[in-house]
């Protein structure tokens, strides 16, 4: 009798375990609001920012992004001399941008890939404010102070990436994207400041 009871308890525990595993496998893909911080490695500089995304039907997010970029001159070059001192060549401009964009993010292969690995495509559009504070120029031993430059325009982004769950409700993102930026006037030596970016995000699901 005791043996039968013991066997029954083991079977109940085993069935409960199998049911919990099955529920975990068959659980619907997660789709929640997102927020977090971002780091961008651009062709000509670095950027920091933050984002918030609202979950919409069909695994789409509607979000807003605010970032701050520090960009260098295209021809800027840094080298170290024989005494270990660092020098920069063609370091003329001190160029900063502040993009504010609205985005649509669409999760791909929702029912074909594990929930902790979420590929996505993304599109953003918004405004960008550019500020350039050129360094003094020396001409025939005279100091020329260039005027500071301030320009306002639009920027558009398309990208593809993946979100990877690091722990419950937290995720890490890596994405490659292209940002199109064309200012109406020359700033920091040119009008076209479009560039490829590698975007890293650390966020949480709400």
Q: What is d(CA 37, CA 59) in angstroms, rounded to the nearest whole number?
A: 21
Contact status, residue 67 vs residue 159, Cβ threshold 8 Å: no
Contact status, residue 67 vs residue 98, Cβ threshold 8 Å: yes
pLDDT tens digits, 167-182: 778 999 999 999 999 9
Q: What is d(CA 45, CA 130) in angstroms, rounded to the nearest whole number?
A: 14
- Give residue 73's pLDDT: 78
pLDDT tens digits, 65-79: 999 999 987 766 565
The encoded tokens of residue 180 equal 């199109």
Distances (CA, A) of 202 to 21, 40, 132, 158, 169: 29, 12, 29, 19, 11
26-32's contacts with Cβ under 8 Å and 24+ in sequence apart are 27/115, 29/59, 29/107, 29/110, 29/111, 29/115, 30/115, 30/205, 31/55, 31/59, 31/107, 32/169, 32/205, 32/206
Share of the chain above pLDDT 70, in %: 75
pTM: 0.79
């Amino acid at each position: 009798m005791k043996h039968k009871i013991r066997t029954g308890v083991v079977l109940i525990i085993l069935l409960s375990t199998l049911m919990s595993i099955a529920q975990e496998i068959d659980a619907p893909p997660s789709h929640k609001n997102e927020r977090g911080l971002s780091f961008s490695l651009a062709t000509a500089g670095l950027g920091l920012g933050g984002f918030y995304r609202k979950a919409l039907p069909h695994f789409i997010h509607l979000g807003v992004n605010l970032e701050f970029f520090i960009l260098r001159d295209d021809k800027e070059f840094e080298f170290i001399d024989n005494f270990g001192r660092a020098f920069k060549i063609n370091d003329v401009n001190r160029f900063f941008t502040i993009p504010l964009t609205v985005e649509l993010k669409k999760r791909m292969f929702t029912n074909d890939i594990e929930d902790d690995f979420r590929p996505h495509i993304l599109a953003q559009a918004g405004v960008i404010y550019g500020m350039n504070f050129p360094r003094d120029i020396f001409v025939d031993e005279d100091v020329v102070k260039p005027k500071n430059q301030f320009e306002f325009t639009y920027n558009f982004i398309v990208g593809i990436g993946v979100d990877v769950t690091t722990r419950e409700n937290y995720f890490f993102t890596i994405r490659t994207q292209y940002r199109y930026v064309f200012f109406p006037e020359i700033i920091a030596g040119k009008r076209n400041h479009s560039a490829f970016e590698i975007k890293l995000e650390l966020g949480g699901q709400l």
